[in-house]
Amino acid sequence: MRPSRRFVLSLLLLLTTATTTIAMARSLPTPTQVPGQPGPQDHDDPATHAHLGMWVTEDGHIRHELLPDGRYDEQRGARKSAYQGRYWVKGNRIWYLDDTGFTADGQFRDGVFHHGGYVFRRVR
Tell me if 7 is assigned to some domain.
no
Tell me if 77 is assigned to some domain.
yes
- Structure pTM? 0.69
d(CA 87, CA 39): 12
Stretch (H or E) spanning 24: helix 5-27
43-54: b or e for each residue (b if 16 or more CB lie within 10 Å)?
A: bbebeebebeeb
Residue 34 makes CB contacts below 8 A (sequence gap 6+) with: 95, 97, 103
- Domain extent for 73: 53-123
pLDDT of residue 27: 45
Tell me if 83 is assigned to some domain.
yes
How would you class 8 by CB atoms within 10 Å of its CB: exposed for 0-12, middle for 13-18, buried for 19 or more? exposed
Torsion of CA 94, 109, 49, 85, to 10 degrees: -30
Tell me if 82 is assigned to some domain.
yes
d(CA 68, CA 52): 7
* 104 three-state secondary structure: strand
Per-residue pLDDT of the chain (124 residues; tens, 9 = 90+): 777 777 655 655 555 554 444 444 444 444 445 566 665 567 888 889 999 999 999 999 999 999 999 999 999 999 999 999 999 898 999 988 899 888 889 999 999 999 989 999 999 8
CATH (domain of 114)? 2.40.128.290
Residue 57 makes CB contacts below 8 A (sequence gap 6+) with: 118, 119, 120
